[in-house]
Amino acid sequence: MREPPPTKAKHIQIPEYKEFLTRIGRRYKKAGQGLKPHETEIARLQLIHDVITVKLAGIEKLSRLLAELDPFYHELIFIEFDENKVRKAVLCLLRAKRMVSEFFRKYRYRLMASETGREAKKIASEARGRMLSLIKRCEKQLLLLKNLVIFIQRLPSIDTSQPTIIVAGAPSVGKSTIVANASRARVEIASYPFTTKQIHVGHANINEIKVQIIDTPGLLDRPLDERNQIELRAIAALKYLNGPILFLFDPTPQATIDLERQLRLAKQVMELDPEKPFVPAIAKVDLVDKHTVNTVISRISETLGSTHVYKVVGVDSRSVKELVHRVVMETIRMMSSGGHPRS
C-alpha cells in the first residue's frame, strides 16, 4: 500500500523561528568551552549551522511530499492553501539552508585565519547575524508551512489505489448515515443541512475485498465557480478518486433542494468525469410511498438515462450493506466486461 500524504506528514516537523533561537541559546555558551578563542567561535557557528540544518530537514521531506502528491490530495490541499505561496515558502527555506552551510564554510576559514580573540569575536558575530537573519527572513513562510503540515496530517488517509465508493448528493440526503452504516467510520449525522464539512473515509469488507467508502459534504446545484470551499472538497473527491459515485436522491418533501434541482446536480456530477461509474440511489425510501418512489425512479431514468436506480433505507444497516455489496459487485462486473460504466 502506498503511504497516503497524511501518514507521510506525521514524520514531518516544521519549527517556528523562535525554536531555532531557543535551541541555539540553550547550548551557545557551552559550545567550544576551554578551546582557543577562534576555535570556540568556530564551535559556536557549528552549533548554529547544525541546529538550522537539523531543524530544516522537514522542509526537504515536505518538498518531496508535495512533489509526489496525487491529483486528489493536490486538489484537497490547494483548495485551502495558495500553491504559489507554498512553493515560494519552500524555496525560501531551502535557499536559507543552503546559504547557512555556505556562510559556515566561509566564516570558518576566516576564523581560522584570525589573529586575535577580538577579531575572532567580531567575525563570529557577523556570521551569526547573517546566518540567523536568513531564517528570520523566512519567519512567515515557516509558519505557513507548519500550518500546512498540520493540515495535511489531519486529512483523511485514503489509499487512492484501493477500491473506493464515493457517496455524494445534495445536503441532508443521508450520505453520512449510509457511510456510518456501511463501515466503521464515525461520522457526524444530523437533521440540518451541511453537517459534513470534510471528506471522511470508512472501511468495509465486501467478499474479502477491502473497500473505502467516502463521505462527502453536500452539494447544491450551482456552477463550479460559485461553489464554496466545503463543496470544492466534495468535488475533489468526485473528480479525482477512483471508483463509482453512489449518488443519493432525497425523495421526501423536506429535501433541502427539490427533485429537479437534485437531477441538475446529478448531471453536473456526472460531467465531472464521464468515465466514472455513476450509481443513482433513492435514499430514505421508508419515508415515502411506493408511488412517489416510482415517480422519482422515472424522472431519474428519463433525465440521466440510468437503466437501474437503487433504493435504500440509510438508517437500516442491512439495507445499506446490501446496497454497497451490489454497487461493488456491479462495478467489478462492468469493469471486467470492459463495458461503459454508465451503460
Ligand X SMILES: Nc1nc2c(ncn2[C@@H]2O[C@H](COP(=O)(O)OP(=O)(O)OP(=O)(O)O)[C@@H](O)[C@H]2O)c(=O)[nH]1
Contact flags string 61-100 toward Mg ion, x per CB under 5 A: ----------------------------------------
Residue 174 contact partner, candidates Mg ion, ligand X, none, CB within 5 to 8 A by sort of partner: ligand X
**Could you give the angle at the alpha carbon of 193 between the alpha carbons of 189 and 194, nearest 5°?**
80
Closest CB 80 distance from Mg ion, rounded Å: 19
Q: What is the Cα–Cα distance from 166 to 177, expressed in whole angstroms?
A: 14
What's the sign of the alpha-carbon dihedral 148, 152, 154, 156?
A: positive
Residue 193 contact partner, candidates Mg ion, ligand X, none, CB within 5 to 8 A by sort of partner: ligand X
Considering beta carbons, is residue 130 or 203 the nearer one to ligand X? Answer: 203
> Per the structure block, which three cell numbers stand in for 311?
433504493
Q: What is the Cα–Cα distance from 324 to 39, expressed in whole angstroms?
A: 70
Residue 157 contact partner, candidates ligand X, Mg ion, none, CB within 5 to 8 A by sort of partner: none
Q: What is the SS3 assignment for 335?
A: helix
Closest CB 333 distance from ligand X, rounded Å: 26
Q: Cβ atoms within 10 A of the Cβ of 207, count?
A: 9
Q: What is the Cα–Cα distance from 171 to 98, expressed in whole angstroms?
A: 50
User: What does residue 312 show for φ and ψ, rounded to 5 degrees?
Assistant: -150, 150
Contact flags string 176-195 toward Mg ion, x per CB under 5 A: x------------------x
Considering beta carbons, is residue 202 or 314 the nearer one to ligand X? Answer: 314
Closest CB 321 distance from ligand X, rounded Å: 14
Alpha helices for the chain (secondary structure H) = 5-9, 17-28, 37-55, 57-67, 71-80, 83-112, 117-136, 139-153, 175-182, 229-240, 259-272, 290-304, 317-337
Contacts of 9 (CB under 8 A, 6+ apart): 62, 65, 149, 152, 153
Helix axes 17-28, 117-136, angle to 10 degrees: 160
Residue 143 contact partner, candidates Mg ion, ligand X, none, CB within 5 to 8 A by sort of partner: none
Binding positions for ligand X, rule: CB under 6 A = 171-177, 189-191, 193-196, 217-218, 283-284, 286-287, 313-315
Q: In this chain, which stretch among 92-100, 171-179, 225-233, 301-309 interacts with Mg ion, using CB under 5 A? A: 171-179
Residue 306 contact partner, candidates ligand X, Mg ion, none, CB within 5 to 8 A by sort of partner: none
Considering beta carbons, is residue 16 or 286 the nearer one to ligand X? Answer: 286
**196 lies in the binding site for Mg ion (CB under 5 A):** yes
Considering beta carbons, is residue 41 or 231 the nearer one to ligand X? Answer: 231
> Per the structure block, which three cell numbers stand in for 309?
436506480
Q: In this chain, which stretch among 24-32, 101-109, 173-181, 290-298 interacts with Mg ion, using CB under 5 A? A: 173-181
**172 lies in the binding site for Mg ion (CB under 5 A):** no
- 125-144: b (≥16 Cβ within 10 Å) or e: eebbeebbebbeebeebbeb
Residues in the interface with Mg ion (CB under 5 A) total 4
Considering beta carbons, is residue 141 or 196 the nearer one to Mg ion? Answer: 196
Considering beta carbons, is residue 103 or 249 the nearer one to ligand X? Answer: 249
Which residues in this chain contact Mg ion in the complex, by CB under 5 A?
175-176, 195-196
